Amino acid sequence: MARMVNCVKLDKEAEGLDRPTYPGDLGKRIYDNVSKEAWQSWMGHQTMLINEYRLTPVDPKARKFLEEEMEKFFFEGGSDKPDGFVPQSD
């Protein structure tokens, strides 16, 4: 049986993550309060941030920025898209 969580991002009960996906206290909060669906949404948002801001994830400043955005995304009402961002149309 799948582990269920009350997802803070989706505001509903949904299937939880199989394992912690991020270290430390923030990782525990995410594991306890974020669904698989919301995590996948973050992964897309994070990819967009990395691409638009041309971030290098191994750079400590970029990692700190992404961690702050992750916390906003899940627990503080959302992470903004970069100014002027226009999604690609297929």
Mean pLDDT estimate for the chain:
91
Q: Quick one: average pLDDT of 20-45? A: 96
Q: Quick one: average pLDDT of 4-13? A: 96
Q: Quick one: average pLDDT of 67-80? A: 90
Angle among Cα 87, 81, 4 to the nearest 5 degrees reads 95
**Whether the predicted pLDDT of 15 surpasses 80:** yes
3-class SS shares of the chain: helix, strand, coil, % to 5: 50, 10, 40
The pTM of the full predicted model, rounded to 2 decimals, is 0.86
Q: Answer yes or no: are the C-beta atoms of 16 and 2 closer than 8 Å.
A: yes
- Domain ranges, ordered by start, for the chain: 4-75
Residue 27: the pLDDT is: 95
**Whether the predicted pLDDT of 84 surpasses 80:** no
Residue 32: the pLDDT is: 97
Q: Which CATH number fits domain 4-75: 1.10.10.10, 1.20.1070.10, 1.10.3880.10, 3.40.50.880?
A: 1.10.3880.10
